[in-house]
Every structure is written in structure tokens, then in C-alpha cells.
Structure 1
């Protein structure tokens, strides 16, 4: 039983806090969340970490020892979206999977997020609250932006950075993303919403019979976010990152121009390993879970071998 009440109802709109539309919307979402969470390995711990902007829900997986990996999900996805990846990533190290503040999930926002600095601040509070002195950070999509925004502003305690199809990071969003984003703010038939989800994921299964797709669709339908527009990082900010960084861009992604994103990342990252996977879409983690596991684990192992 959760001890922290979710934000439910229109009253939270006036306070600029992410919230579920009503009790029925939260019930639908929670059913989808629990169904998707049940597909993950059993967590060794479930944490509700207080920050200055609310409480962050985090799950810990894997062994007790090692430098942990912190997973930041995509928009409207929450921690259960890592179902295809968790077992492989947590085989040899601890892994924390979190629900982003202000997004659908079981994190509960209590203070408005008004800037990219605020976005880095709540994430820093989470990093500081974890018992390990340092960790690796992996983000997908808007989670990739969140990870990069963190290390640009507050890199203390971060050992390395992994960015899978990061949004608003190495390339500006395309008109196709604008169209898909309408699915999160406008009422529309479920079939149309599922088609948009499939489009952004390059044709991946968006049937609501699939637990993670059901979770994302419910988050888009039943939750209203009040988040600031992500700041597009400058050349100077990216060039200033003094961390080993792995970037994976999908050649079929609609989130940005893949070739231009790869070129910018290779040009600016001082310690970057930048890979273009031609057959991958924005849903690279679900399309190529074994390759993600192998690539990320090899990168982290190499980082940890360095002095």
C-alpha cells in the first residue's frame, strides 16, 4: 500500500503540478502500472525519495555490490518501460529505475518545475539520497535529455553517461514529434492514439494488450503534466561534459534527424562513443534489447577499468 497520495483532480492544475484527471483516471493508470510493473524482475527495494519538488519513486534491482546504473525513462513511460532491459543490465550491477518527476508514474510532485535548473535539482536530490557515492546514468528519449541536463549542471557523483535516442539533445524535434505530442493533450480515439505511439516507435507493437504500451497510452490519456520546455543544450555545454559518454541514435528515428544528431554528438563530445544503429527507431530499447545490454554493459565495464 502506497503511503504517499497521488495528485488527483483539477485543483492541482492551478498549482501547476502534474496530476491525474480524476479518481477514475488514476484507477485506470494504476491498474496499467501494476500490470506493467509485474513484468519486471522483483525489486530488492522500493524507495520514495523526498526532494524539494516532491517524492521520487525508485526501484532497486540486481546485486548489492558494484557501481549502480540509474535508468531515466521516456515521456509518459515510467520505470516499467525497462521490462526488456532490466534483467540484462542488472545481472552484474545494481540498477535503480525511477519515475520522472512531473510525469505519469508514482512520483508525486509538490512544487512546480519552472526551468531546466529545477529539473536538474530534483534529480540531484535523488542522486545524493542514494547510498552509493557514485553511479552511471542512462536515459532514453526525454530521460536522455534529463540525464544530459543533470551532468551539464550538476555532474558531481556521476561516473558516466549513456544516452539512448535522447530527445532535444543533439538535434531539434521534428514536425512528426509535434503531431505525436498531440496524442498527449487532445482527446482522440484509442486506435488513433495507438497509431501515433506506433509511429514514434518506428512500427513497434503499440497494442494496448502489451503492458508497457498500455501504460504509456494511459499516461498520455489520464495524466496532465505541467513541465517547462526543455532547454536545447548549447555547443559549449555539450563540449564541457568531462565524462565518458555513450550515445546511440536510431537510423529510423522520427525524434530528430539521425545523421545530424550523430554528427553533432561526434563533433562536440570530448569523451564520446557515438553509434548510429540504422535499423533502430526511437524505441531502440525494446527493438534491440540484447544489443542494448551488450553495448551498455561493455561500455560501463570499460569505464570502470579506467583509473
Structure 2
């Protein structure tokens, strides 16, 4: 395996992750197309979930160590009104296959833009959660043109930095050999005390990703104020009041001061797992936002 390329720890690790991933996909609504899109940095796995009518489609970008199945709670209500595409982030655990090192934020935007070209998405609303929110903004500021709008769910390294304590805790999710009970305790803390037992699909998926896969992508560079000011598209940011990944009020203040077309809300009772905690409410808010953008 080339240096700087994310990979599974071995055949047994891939088989374990694939089984969990397959179980997760079985919980989703049916997709009508699966794609393996070639890019300059590897092949990107994407799915299309059909919705009614010709409205501008939506692209979902997942969080760290949590590919497409993490959106099982969100897809039904989103599909009620729009076609939805999902991708497994390149360099993260999933069915995308990285072959060339991703060295910086420009590379991150490039592969995602090339994937949109391959999917023939000339105009798309992008919804990103956590690191997926950062990826969405990074794409929009570096490769503008295809992104019609952004919906950001508690995005990291976008409106606020990651607190030092979470950087230390994250070692439990990345260092090999950390006991599963400790990994689950950290994941529960990040998720606002949620149940992260092996019975919860999202928890199984993240746990498999952290144990079976080696991340080689660089840490995300914080989005600058000048980059945020440059965004000339509508942005809806839903920030979690109980998030441990950012300070919601501080992030909201920075977003309101820098975004030209921003709608910023702090959902006081939400944790960093906001996407799974409020799927119906997020869909209702997002649909109103997208309808207004398209109208």
C-alpha cells in the first residue's frame, strides 16, 4: 500500500467492515443506481436514491468513519420530496478506494468536484454532517459552480475550531488496541450520551471504521473568514447546542458575521449527533430552505 493512502488493516478487517456496511445498507430505502466514479485520487462509491419530480437533487456527505449507511434515519424524509445522492468520502472507511495520497484541502475539493462531474451533477444542494460539513464548504469555496446551496449539520473546523479535549479523546477512536469499552464511552460522549451498543447500526459502523481502517488524510484546515465571506450561495447551518466538537454560540456568531447569505440556527438540545436525533425536523427545515433557493 502506498504511503499516504488510506487502507484497511488487512483482508480480515475489510471482511468485517464490509459485513457491517452491508447490514447498514440493508436498512436504507432502495437505491436505483450505484456508481464507482474514477477521480485523480481513486474511485468514489456513490448511490442514487430516487425521489419524486425534477427538483434539484441533494448530495449527502457523511461524517468521519461513517459512510453512506449513517444517513438511514434521514433518507426517508429527504426522499419524500427530492432525489438524493450519497458518497463514501475518499480516504475514509467505506467502499470508495483511495489510490493516490490526498495532501491538502485543494486535493479534497478536487476529488469531490471530479466525482460530481462523473455523476453528471451540474447543480446540486449539498448537505454535510460534521467533517462532511467541512468538506461541503471546502468544495464550495475552492470549486464553486456546481453547488446550489449548503446545509451544514454541526460542521467541524468551519465556524469554530475543535476543542483540545476532543482532540485528546479522539485518540481512543484512532489508536489501534484501545479497548472497545473505551471507544464506545468516547463515542457516547461525542453523541450526547446516546446508546452506542452493538445493537445500534450507526455505532457499529463507526466502531468498525475506527478499528478496521487506517486514515491517511491530513487534518482539515479551518475554513478562513475570507473564504466564508467569498461564499455567494445560500447556507443553512444547524449547530448543536450540546456539541462537544465546537462552541455553538461562538460558531453561530462567526457564521452570522461572515456569511453573505447565511441562515444560522442553534438547536439547544441537539448533540453532535444531530442528524440522527432530529431527522424529521432537519428534513422539514432543509426542504423549506431548498424550495426557497430553487424558487
Shorter-chain TM-score tier: over 0.9
Tell me what 2:281 maps to: 291
Q: CA offset at residue 131 of structure 1?
A: 2.6
Tell me what 1:146 maps to: 135
Tell me what 2:44 maps to: 56
Tell me what 1:159 maps to: 148
Q: Secondary structure at the match of 2:69?
A: helix
- Superposition pairs for residues 223-302 of structure 1, below 5 Å? 223-302=213-292
Q: Secondary structure at the match of 1:265?
A: helix
Q: CA offset at residue 139 of structure 1?
A: 0.5
The one of 138, 150, 165 equivalent to 1:176 is: 165
Q: Tell me the matched-pair count.
A: 293
TM-score, L = length of structure 1? 0.93
Tell me what 2:209 maps to: 219
Q: CA offset at residue 183 of structure 1?
A: 2.1
Tell me what 1:8 maps to: none
Q: CA offset at residue 46 of structure 1?
A: 0.7
Tell me what 1:3 maps to: none
Q: CA offset at residue 50 of structure 1?
A: 0.6
Q: Determine if the alignment matches structure 1 residue 197 to structure 2 residue 187.
A: yes
Runs of 4+ displaced beyond 4 Å: none
Q: CA offset at residue 176 of structure 1?
A: 2.9
Tell me what 2:14 maps to: 26
The one of 112, 125, 130 equivalent to 1:123 is: 112
- Render the CA deviation track for 1:260-280: whole Å, top value 9, x for unaligned: 001000111000000000000
- Render the CA deviation track for 1:197-228: whole Å, top value 9, x for unaligned: 11111112211211121011000011001011
Q: Give unpaired runs (5+ residues) of structure 1.
A: 1-11
CA distance in 2, matches of 1:212, 1:28: 15
Tell me what 1:96 maps to: 85
The one of 201, 208, 211 equivalent to 2:198 is: 208
Q: Does the 8 A contact of 1:62 with 1:90 survive in 2?
A: yes
Q: CA offset at residue 172 of structure 1?
A: 0.5
Q: Determine if the alignment matches structure 1 residue 38 to structure 2 residue 26.
A: yes
CA distance in 2, matches of 1:246, 1:212: 24
CA distance in 2, matches of 1:152, 1:83: 28
- Render the CA deviation track for 1:217-276: whole Å, top value 9, x for unaligned: 000011001011211111111011000000010000000111100100011100000000
